[in-house]
Structure 1
Amino acid sequence: MGPTTPNWNINNTVVNESYYPENLPCTNEFNTLNFLTVIIAVVGLPGNAIVLWILAFHMNRNAFSTYVLNLAGADFLYLCTQIVCSLDCVLQLESRYFFFLYIVLMFAYLAGLCMIAAISTERCLSVMWPIWYHCQRPRHTSAIVCALLWAFCLLLSLLLGQGCGSLFSDYGYYFCTTSALIITVFVIVLSVVPSVSNLALLVKIVCGSHRIPVTRFYVTIALTVVVFLFFGLPFGIYLFFLPWIMNFEDDSNFNVYELVTCLSCISSCANPIIYFLVGSIRHRRLERKTLKFLLQRAMQDTPEEESR
C-alpha cells in the first residue's frame, strides 16, 4: 500500500486516524518514485493522444483499430489520473477528491486490461475460424463490445469504491474484501485470456498444417500483451490483493506500491511506441514516414508481400 492508496479494510471505529493515507508523510523515497511516475506519465501522454487523434479523425476504423482506439483512451485516462494522484502525494495537497480520483484510476486500468483481452481474443477467433469470422460476425461487434466493457469496468470500480467506503458509505470489511476478491479474479482471468490467445496463434503459425504468415498486427498484439504482463499486471495483482497483504506499519508496502505504479505507467506509455516502432520497421531497417502511415502499417493484418 502506498501513500496514494485508499484504505480498503479500515473500520472507522477501530483504526486510529494516523493510519489514514492523507495523514501519512511522503518520504524522500516516495517522492522520488512519484516524481519518476509523473515524468513517465507525462512522456506517455502525447503518444496516446496522437494515437487517439489519428484513429478517431484520420483513419477508417476496422474491427481491430476500434479496440486500439479504446485502449489508447483507457491508457490516456489512466496516465492523466496517475499524474494527479502522484502530484497529490508529492505536494501533500490532501485533495478532498482523492477517493474519486482513485476510482477513476481503477476504472481506467480495468478498461485497458479488458481492451487488451478483447483484441487478443478477436484476433485469435479471426485466425482459428476465418470463415465464421468474416461471414457471420456482426458488423458493429467491436463497438458494442467496447461499450459493454467500459460499462462493466465502471460498475466494478464503483462496487469496490462503494464497498470499501471510498464513495458514500462503508459496508464493512467483509464486503470490501469480497469486492476486492471478485476484481482480483477478474484481473487474473483477463490476464490469462490474451496469453492463451497469443500462445494459440503462435502454435498455429509454427506448427499448423496450414501455416499462417506473421503479420505486423500479430507482432503488435504480441508485444502489447508481453509488455502488459511484465509491467502492467503487477499493479493489478498488488492493488486488489491489498486486503490480505496490507500492513500499515510495514514500510516495504509503500515502496512496492510506488514501484508497481511506476511500472504500470511504463506499460501505458509503451503501447504507442510499439505501434510506431512496428510500423517503421521494414526489411530489418527503420523508415521515416508520417505517424498516420506508421500506425496504418502497424494495424496491417496481411502479409508483407501481399501489401505491396
Structure 2
Amino acid sequence: MEERSTSGDFLSKDSNISTWETTITAPNGSIYNDSPHCDIKFHPTIYLSFVFILVGLTGNAIVIWLLGFRMHRNAFSVYILNLAMADFLFLSFFVTSIFFSIHFLSFLLLLLVQRLTYLSGLSILSAISVERCLSVLWPIWYRCRRPRHTSAVTCALLWALSLLLSLLHGEACGFLFNSIDFFRCRTLNYFTASWLIVLFVVLCVSSLTLLVRIFCGSQRIPVTRLCVIIVLTVLFFLIFGLPLGIYFLLSKWFGNLDYAKICNLNITVSLLSCVNSCANPIIYFFIGSIRHRRFHRKSLKLLLQRALQDTPEEEGGERACPRKTEEHETL
C-alpha cells in the first residue's frame, strides 16, 4: 500500500495489515512507526470514539429527519439542519475510514470529504452565531427587512465554498491526481488556514457580543432556549472541535514537529472531533427537555421545537412584524 503523510489528516487503518497501526510519514519521506508507543492510547481511544460515533450518528439522523421532513423550518432551524448534516457526514466518513478496509484512493476521497464537512460545519456554526447577533443588535430590521431565504442561500454558499477549497486542495496536493504542485498546495494551505482563522474570529466576536447583550448593559435581552443552545454549541466546539483546526494549522505551518508527539496528538484530536459532532443533538434535546416532564420517542419533535424556541419561557410567542408573518424557509 502506498504511503502518504497523515499530517493534518485523520487516523486510518491500513487495508493490508490485520492490526491497528499509526504510520506517520516525516517531511523527508521516511516512515516513522511508533506502534508500541501509540497503541497504548490508540486501541482504547478508537473504540471509545466508536461509541461517540454511534451516538452522534443516531442523534444527528433524528435531527435531520425531524427538521427535514417533520417540522416547518425557520431562519435558525435551517442552519441547525445543515449543521446536523455536516456532523452526520463527518462521523459517517470518519467511521468508514477507520473501521473498514478500503482502497487507498477511496481513503483519499474520504479525507477530502472529512475536510469538507469540518469546514462547512465551522462555517455554518459561525453563520448561526452571526445571525443571532444581528437579530439582537437590529431586531426591527431582522424581523421586517431580512430577506426571506437568507439562511438557505447562506448555507448553500458556505457548502459550495467548502467544497471548492477541498477540491482545489485535493487537486493541487496530490489527493485526486498523482501530480503535486507544491507551490499551489502551499498557497492553498495558507488560504485554508486563513479562512479557518477568519471563521474562528467571527465566531468568537459574535458569540461574545451575544453574551454581552444577555448579561450586561441596560438593554439586556431575555434568555431564550435558542440563545442557550447557541452558547453551548459554540462552547463545545471551542473545547472539542477547535483542536482539529489548530492541529491542521500546526501541521501545515510547522511540519518538522516531533512526530512521536504528533502520533498521540492525532489520536486525541480525532476523539475530540467525534465528541464535538456527537454533542449538538444532545444539547438540543436536553435544552428542549428542561421543564418538560415527559421524554420519550413521540415527544422528540416537541422537544426539538421547544429547543429552537426564540421567545422567553413566560411569553407565549415572539412579537412579529406587522407587515410580515413568521417565515418558513425551505432548502
* Length-normalised TM-score, structure 2: 0.82
The equivalent residue for 1:124 is 133
CA RMSD of aligned residues (A): 2.5
Partner of 1:77: 89
Per-residue deviation, 1:206: 2.3
Cross-structure match for 1:155? 164
8 Å Cα contact 1:163/1:176 also seen in 2: yes
SS in 1 for 2:310: coil
Residue 43 (structure 1) shift: 1.9
User: How far apart are the structure 1 equivalents of 2:158 and 2:95?
Assistant: 24
8 Å contact 1:45–1:269 — kept in the other structure?
yes
Q: Once the 2 structures are TM-superposed, how far is the Cα of residue 187 of structure 1 from its aligned partner?
A: 1.2
Identity across matched positions, percent: 50
- Map of 1:297 onto structure 2: 306
Match of 1:32 in 2: 44
Dislocated runs of 4+, deviation >4 Å: 5-10, 23-27
Select between 200-209 and 170-179 the one with higher mean Cα deviation. 170-179
Change (3 A) 1:151 1:306: same
Q: How far apart, in 2, do the equivalents of 1:237 and 1:248 lie?
A: 14
Q: Which has the higher helix share?
A: 1
The CA distance in 2 between the partners of 1:182 and 1:233, in whole Å, is 18
> 171, 187, 194: which one pairs with 1:185?
194
- Counterpart of 2:73 (choices 53, 58, 61) is 61
Could you say if the C-alpha distance between residues 129 and 236 of structure 1 is closer, same or farther in structure 2, counting changes exceeding 3 Å? same
Larger displacement relative to structure 2 (285-294 or 61-70): 285-294
Q: Which amino acid aligns with 2:49?
A: T
Letter in 2 for 1:155: L
Shift of 1:36: 2.3
Q: CA deviation at 1:168?
A: 1.2
Residues 114, 190 of structure 1: 8 Å contact kept: yes
Counterpart position of 1:273:
282
Query: What is the total number of aligned residue pairs between the two structures?
Result: 296
| 1:9-24 map, 5 Å | 15-16=29-30, 18=31
| Paired residues of 2:24 and 2:259 also in contact (CA < 8 A) | no
Does structure 1 residue 207 correspond to structure 2 residue 241? no
What's 1:288 paired with?
295
Among 133, 144, 157, the alignment partner of 1:135 is 144
2:248 to 226, 239, 248: 239
For 2:59, the equivalent position in structure 1 comes to: 47
Q: 1:208 to 1:151 in 2, by over 3 A?
A: same
Q: Secondary structure at the match of 1:97?
A: helix
2:106 is equivalent to residue 100 of structure 1:
no
Which letter does structure 1 place at the counterpart of 2:29?
A: V
Contact 1:120/1:198 (8 A) holds in 2: yes
1:6-52 CA-partner distances (Å, limit 9, x unpaired): 99996xxx735x46xxx996952333332222222122100000000
- Give CA-to-partner distance per residue, 1:182-239, whole Å, 9 cap, x none: 1112112212222211211121122233221000000000000000011001011202
- Could you tell me how far apart the structure 2 residues matched to 1:104 and 1:271 are? 20
> Quick check: 242-251 or 162-171, which moved more?
242-251
Bigger drift between 146-155 and 180-189 goes to 180-189
Q: What residue ranges of structure 1 are gaps of 5+ in the alignment?
A: none
On the 8 A contact 1:156/1:183 being kept in 2, the answer is yes
Please say if residues 8 and 243 of structure 1, whose CA atoms lie closer than 8 Å, have aligned partners that are also in contact: no
